[in-house]
Structure 1
Amino acid sequence: MKLAHRWAALTILALPGTGFAAPPTTLSFTPASIGAFRLDRVAQQGGVALGTVPTGTIRLVKDGAEVEIAPDGRFIIAFGRDHTTVAILSATLRDGRSVTERLNVASRAWRIESLPTLPHHSQPDAEFEARRPAELAQIEAARRVVSDSQGWRQSFIWPARGRISGGFGSQRIYAGQPGAPHSGVDVAGGLGAPVLAPADGVVILAAASAFTLEGNLLMVDHGMGLNSAFLHLSRIDVKVGDHVHQGQQIGAIGQTGRATGPHLHWGMKWHDERIDPARIVSLTRP
């Protein structure tokens, strides 16, 4: 293992076999030409895309930020909920030439709910204010970890089965004040139901005790800046540094932290971009 630091109405059904997850599979890459680059899908807000750089590329930049390139020329990029409708992808070639392409990023309509009589925030208690800075520091430290995982190449599976009770990007407006958009997907499942690794990865955080907001929090790095967070678990079955494999049980659904009922909150980030887990599953399923 190599570890280093760098900076709603959908039901998930059981699949045949001993568990409810599909066996590990490698993404079937069907290139589509976007200028000199090849991407496997249209760019969209909250989505990801896998691509191949032009031959001879030694450096890749998206919107001014470095993007890792695998030895075989593959890369992954993502677009946050509020990403602009244009992204700039630029490659520097070995012979000194540069190739720059403009990507159109499709916009999405988000579910917005107005609650005109409810206040925006409840008053945080003293315990929350005292504990929160250290919890946030742990989360940020975990996200600076780089692993050698190749999970980003796989076709992701759902980590739990059940009804989708909360979608990515939805937002509530409290008495005219916007709340934070929902940062992941909520799967309503029974207390103690298994949570599986959606793809191969390395555990970068396994909370020793419940966080004030996230409860029992588990984070897995899938490589190339892509990571998953699993919130409100009743139990964590792995430890920091463990290599986990797609379909392996890593915990169980719970109601820890600020949760009104048993469910799994699955959040994903690519570097600083929060992305929609439902998109990486639905678009990469065999």
Structure 2
Amino acid sequence: MLRRMVLISLMLASPTVFAQTIELRGAAAPGGLMIGKVDADTQVFFKEQELPKTPAGYVVFGFGRDDTGVHELRLRQKDGQERVEQITLAAREYKIDRVEGVPQETVTPDPRQVQRAREEAERVWLARNQTSTRTDFLTPLIMPAEGRISGVYGSQRIFNGTPRNPHYGLDIAAPTGSPVNAPWSGKVVFADPDLFYSGGTLILDHGYGVTSTYIHLHKLHVEVGQEVEQGEFIAEIGATGRVTGPHLDWRINWGHERLDPALALEHFK
């Protein structure tokens, strides 16, 4: 009888099965935005950092332009048990854009202009460093403007024969003054009509590290601190900064990770 009681005790003390999983949607690709959902008692870790969770259990994260190979999401239950979900990314091929006719002072700026650009980049970095608990990114995404797609994410840029950084946005060509509308609801965290490289620049916060950026604007119709609704008229397309013609350069970031707006549209439209 004693032996039987010991066996039963050992059986009851055995580890419980890890029951939690994560529901994922989005682009498992370089530049991809992904949204996951777990229960209230599960923590999610990505690149060794815990992802903040909405009250409904959603987390958001993204992959950079050059991220490839196996990436891990670590799930931790309330009792301390863990499991790992693997996401495998295949490398993407990016086009090469040769752009001629760019104002030469924006390709090879003088020291004063370089200093100005650095100070402006710091302001943009600080704006993207803000975090909020907004959940606008959970709503379906819409295009911010109408026009011809003239540039894509990830492409290698060569300005006036000089190689420069890759392009991190989706370019939409349209006449100066054409409307730009908010693709998600959000809050304005940066607004400047005249940055050296990007000209008129606007950044919206959509929550949990997700922001969207609009550059080369002719005119801004909102200001820092203002709340905007999805589809609201926020700016006008222009040809300011380092450009050869009027267009909107639309970008999406998760923190400081630059994501592909076209992939976000494909998976969350």
Shift of 1:150: 1.6
Cα distance in 2 for partners of 1:158, 1:109 equals: 24
Give the CA deviation at 1:238. Answer: 0.7
For the 8 Å contact 2:216–2:243, the answer to whether it is kept is yes
Aligned residue runs from structure 1 range 6-25, under 5 A: none
Alignment-derived partner of residue 15 in structure 2? none
User: Does residue 274 of the first structure (1) align with residue 258 of the second (2)?
Assistant: yes
What displacement does 1:128 show? Answer: 1.3
1:146 deviation in Å? Answer: 1.8
Residues 40 and 51 in structure 1, CA contact (< 8 A), matched pair in contact too: yes
State TM-score, norm by structure 2: 0.84
Structure 2, gaps ≥5 residues long: 1-19
- Indicate conservation of the 8 Å contact 1:205/1:240, yes or no: yes
> How far apart, in 1, do the equivalents of 2:219 and 2:162 lie?
36
Identical columns (%):
37
Aligned pairs (5 A) from 1:167-182: 167-172=152-157, 179-182=164-167
Tell me the CA shift for residue 204 of structure 1: 0.4
How far the C-alpha of 1:177 sits from its partner, in A, is 8.1
Amino acid at match of 1:152: F
Residue in structure 1 matched with residue 114 of structure 2 by the alignment: 129
Native 8 Å contact 1:228 1:268 kept in 2: yes
Max Rg structure = 2
CA distance in 2 between partners of 1:122 and 1:196 (Å): 30
Question: TM-score scaled to structure 1, two decimals?
Answer: 0.79
Within 5 Å, which residues of 2 pair with 1:79-118?
Answer: 79-112=63-96
* Bigger helix share: 2
State how far apart, in whole Å, the 1-side matches of 2:217 and 2:210 are: 21
CA distance in 2, matches of 1:113, 1:233: 21
Residues 103 and 235 of structure 1: is their aligned pair in 2 closer, same or farther, counting only changes over 3 Å? Answer: same
Tell me if structure 1 keeps the 8 A contact 2:54–2:133. Answer: no
Residue pair 1:206, 1:240 contacting (<8 A) in 2 also: yes
* Structure 2 counterpart SS, 1:264: strand
Cα deviation 1:164-213 (Å, max 9, x = unaligned): 00000011468998531111111001110000001011100011x40111
Mapped to 2, the partners of 1:153 and 1:262 lie a distance apart of 31
**Correspondence for 1:61:** 45
Distance 1:114 1:253 in 2: 22
CA RMSD of aligned residues (A): 2.4
* Number of aligned residue pairs: 245
